[in-house]
Structure 1
Amino acid sequence: MTAKPPIRPGSLGIIEGFFGRCWSWNERRDMARFSAHSGLGFYLYAPKSDSRLRRLWRQPWNDADLRALLELRRECQSLGLAFGVGLSPLELYREPGADACRALAEKVRYLNRLEPDCLCLLFDDMRGDLPALATNQIDLAHCAAEHSVAEQLILCPTYYSDDPVLEKVFGTRPAHYWETLGERLDSHIGIFWTGPTVCSDRYPAEHLLEVGARLKRQPILWDNYPVNDSSVKSQLLQLRGVDRSHGHLPALVGGHAINPMNQPYLSRIPLLSASEAYRLGDAYSPEHAFESACRALAEEPLATALIEDTPLFQDRGLGALTQAEQTRLRQRYQQWADDPMAREVVAWLNGEYAFDPACLTD
């Protein structure tokens, strides 16, 4: 690993790290182009629906998917985007020892053919009530770093926030878990953090400074806005601009990865606002950024429709809309069938983004 990793303080990008309906390869390449043109610096491929990265992680991709991934990597490279991949070896830390490291090393060498700039070792959304959890995960992270060609490795801990929902769902966090990670994990390895909660609206400076002291490095933010893959949030289209607190994040985090919605084109609206927040700092206005993004990304009158209907999409949500409201909205957006954002609204209204029960952290 180099002294100047591709994801570093002041860098903003995306992590395709959600559950549920995945993006197509064309949508991923479109997102890479949008990211590069909007001031984002990296693309991390880590969809929970890719079984070859999680449930069946020991198995290779089929030839078609491997070719598509190589094409995505080349697209990112041509655009000047750092490219990374997120591996979630499901609860491998419960099998500590040489065999576990050997299996992980084999997979990491397989991933090397993608020539990733960044390798993410993800232990999120797995059982964590194991006394040696931190030690076992550190050993695996060091093993992955030894065998990867990536310039940077980032670990996502099982407990990636102070949010009590994580212990409720994944078991009691072992004593001194974060402190052990901070003290024993190679200082060149980054650590993901989602903020005060799993899906944080704001990132207070005092919170991030405290976490940085605990982990003995600036956390790399895994930002779960606007992601909408949970039972509650799958009922929402989260389009508004990111919070004002994003304007001070470049100095407080070791990098900032945004987890978008299952709807890739509608996700561009809040993604563009995040880029604006990084550019403007204290002068950033979420309201202005939201309307500006809508008008930059959609032609009139679709842009105005999205602005007008966001309270229904983001505050009320699909389950609270009456049949009459759903019919009216469906008819309104069907008239722009050539626009991918309008098509995503209609698909959402039609229930095509069903909740994936594998996502447990609501």
Structure 2
Amino acid sequence: MAMPLRERQYYFRDYYDQGEELVLEGQQLRCRLSSKFSMSQTYGGPLAADGPIVIVEQGGEAAEPGNAVLELEYEGTLKPDGYQLEISKDGKITIAASNKRGLKFGMDALIRLISTDGGKCRLPVAVIHDEPSFPVRGIIEGFYGKPWSFEDRMDAVRYIAAHRMNTFMYAPKDDPYHRELWREPYPEEAFARIAELKQECDDQLVDFYYCISPGNDLQFRSKADFASLENKLAAMVSIGVRHFALLMDDIDYELSGDNLHYLERSGLAHAYVANHVYTYLNSQLPGFTLAMCPSEYWSYWDTGYKRDIREQLHASIKVFWTGYSVFAPQIGSRHAQDNHRHYGHELWLWDNIPVNDADYDRLFLDPVRGRYSQLGRTGHQAVVANPMVQWECSKITLNTLAHYMWNSERYMPELSWELSVREFAGALAEEMMFFCRQNLNSQLYSGGYEELKEAVQSKDIDRLDVYFDRLESTVSRLLQWDNSKFKEEAGPWLDRALADVELWRAVRRTVTGAGGGNGTGIGNGNGNGDGDAKESAGPGSSDELRRRAEACQAFKVRLGSDPAWRAAEAWGLAVREEKGGYRLT
């Protein structure tokens, strides 16, 4: 299916066409290659053998006829990862870039534009100029909770590469060798898996960052501790790692004992450690990247800690922050500019979206919102997202973040959400969007659930029947989907949704004394419901209501919409507790 014009105009930074089409014979674009990108006359990116584009051999008996000419060119004025793509009426296609990743993204764009039908290959005659808003774009596996499996990480790397991101940061809080046992070398098997992950990053043109977090118990005067730190880094250097991060977040950063006597203030201490790591890496590698996450990684005001980082930290070291709070609903121009000035270093946004380690009972399935459209002009050169424990479910929000990272100036949350859900769920996009709308990010967004709110506030039983019937049918469809990974991760929430449906039906019977649900639509017909639960309750309704409520409470997860409990509360059958839960009255 051809990429609709509206999506082309949104997805690519600058897209130009005049409605003309290039039509070629065959179901594939068979390109004869001419490369001026380098002396090598090959395309260095991955292409599937059965994909829409094939590079045909030239010259000799094995030569195949091509239906188009692909020219690769070096264009040094383009930003890293940016590209220009031109599709001409005569079958000539040109991709220009300043690095290999730009060539890959240009080829990815070409693949997106291809459509086939009736034995013909079709492309718009178009020119695209596409460059990213941020040089560094990607994911940091930096959450608390069960770390991802290596299979999830490998899939994450491929996902990054396919969505114009370029960075994978390895920093799982509950990997003991990253944090608690930072002095100890990785066991042989675990280290081999990291090396395998690093190789996959290389194959996908993704930068692998190894992150280490020694701040809980590092002794700043200890030569043995620094030797352990260097040994850990040296092991990573030995497998080709060139990008590193020192994380001093979420520690008790008040100095005590010999650390206090030696370095006096935590800002001085953290700059001291980071500078030591920088000096060591500089002695081992001709080119490397080092970022550090300070203990004061959130806030927007100046402090003595930030002054020490500003004045003492090596100028080439990048500094993370998460916004004005750990989960920042907005990151606007003023806070971004102020914190860049306070730290005095290139800032990297560690965006805690869609991470749910502060809400293990929730899934977050909505788009990123509230990020300044011109953040890249305020000293920010990177945006990395911290996903959920549930990798597959994280993809929906991460896709919207990828749109923002690439073109923050044009980013539109609702449109990105629509495109992301459609890409994720295909034919089940409508059902998936309804499920997503039950699971909005409560840390960042207080809107949503308007349809439910109106029905609950008006005690409109007919509308609530429709709502819960739709929830039931949505879950039924998603449980039949062939995405087993999604069903495994989201399964507890899907089951909880069905429990909510049954709780609503028990509430309904309690307040009307009648059956309902499954499309019966039994109600009073005036949209006002019946407000007197006790007088209209049917036989045994209180016992059933209690059973259904206990069934919901037995789940360790909940929907953000809390639909059945909100309905029960509206009729005075339940009250909200301090921690956000409910109980029957």
TM bucket, shorter chain: 0.7 to 0.9
Mapped pair 1:117 → 2:262: no
Mapped pair 1:257 → 2:384: yes
Match for residue 491 of structure 2 among 334, 346, 353: 346
Match for residue 272 of structure 2 among 126, 129, 139: 139
Matches of 2:192 and 2:185, distance apart in 1: 12
Larger CA deviation: 142-151 vs 91-100: 91-100
Matches of 1:119 and 1:312, distance apart in 2: 38
Tell me, what secondary structure is at the counterpart of 1:59?
coil
- Where does 1:4-43 land on structure 2 (aligned, <5 Å)? 9-43=134-168
Shift of 1:59: 1.4
Give the direction of change, closer, same or farther, for the CA distance of 1:95–1:349 in structure 2 (3 Å limit). farther
Mapped pair 1:288 → 2:288: no
Match for residue 129 of structure 1 among 205, 230, 254: 254
**Preserved CA contact (<8 Å) 2:300 2:338:** no
Shift of 1:310: 2.1
Matches of 2:381 and 2:481, distance apart in 1: 40
**Preserved CA contact (<8 Å) 1:262 1:353:** no
**Preserved CA contact (<8 Å) 1:82 1:118:** yes
Tell me, what secondary structure is at the counterpart of 2:148?
coil
Tell me, what secondary structure is at the counterpart of 1:267?
helix
**Preserved CA contact (<8 Å) 1:104 1:140:** no
Tell me, what secondary structure is at the counterpart of 2:140?
strand
Shift of 1:283: 2.8
- Where does 1:1-362 land on structure 2 (aligned, <5 Å)? 9-130=134-255, 131-148=264-281, 149=285, 151-162=288-299, 176-230=304-358, 233-252=359-378, 253-301=380-428, 303-314=429-440, 328=472, 331-336=476-481, 338-348=483-493
In the alignment, what sits opposite 2:562? none
Matches of 2:238 and 2:169, distance apart in 1: 16
Matching residue's letter, 1:58: R
**Preserved CA contact (<8 Å) 2:300 2:339:** no
Matches of 1:104 and 1:47, distance apart in 2: 18
Shift of 1:74: 0.4
Shift of 1:97: 4.3
Larger CA deviation: 43-52 vs 280-289: 280-289
Instruction: Report Cα offsets for 1:258-304 as digits up to 9, x if no partner.
Output: 11111111211111111212344333210111111010122222x22
Which structure shows the higher strand fraction? 2
Give the count of matched residue pairs. 333
Give the direction of change, closer, same or farther, for the CA distance of 1:10–1:249 in structure 2 (3 Å limit). farther
In the alignment, what sits opposite 2:28? none
Instruction: Report Cα offsets for 1:191-235 as digits up to 9, x if no partner.
Output: 1101110011221111111111111123111110111111xx222
Matches of 1:121 and 1:305, distance apart in 2: 42
TM-score by length of 2: 0.53
Structure 1: segments with no counterpart, 5+ residues: 165-172, 318-323, 355-362
Which structure shows the higher helix fraction? 1
Matches of 2:416 and 2:335, distance apart in 1: 25
Matching residue's letter, 1:182: R
Matching residue's letter, 2:369: D
Tell me, what secondary structure is at the counterpart of 1:141?
helix
**Preserved CA contact (<8 Å) 1:13 1:35:** yes
**Preserved CA contact (<8 Å) 1:21 1:262:** yes
TM-score by length of 1: 0.83
Matching residue's letter, 1:155: M
Give the direction of change, closer, same or farther, for the CA distance of 1:163–1:262 in structure 2 (3 Å limit). farther
Matches of 2:408 and 2:381, distance apart in 1: 17
Give the direction of change, closer, same or farther, for the CA distance of 1:307–1:242 in structure 2 (3 Å limit). same
Give the direction of change, closer, same or farther, for the CA distance of 1:61–1:101 in structure 2 (3 Å limit). closer
**Preserved CA contact (<8 Å) 1:250 1:278:** no
Matches of 2:297 and 2:388, distance apart in 1: 20
The percent of aligned pairs where both chains have the same amino acid is: 25
Structure 2: segments with no counterpart, 5+ residues: 1-79, 81-100, 102-132, 256-263, 444-467, 496-554, 559-585
Report which of the two structures shows the higher radius of gyration computed on alpha carbons. 2
Larger CA deviation: 191-200 vs 93-102: 93-102
RMSD across aligned positions (CA): 3.0
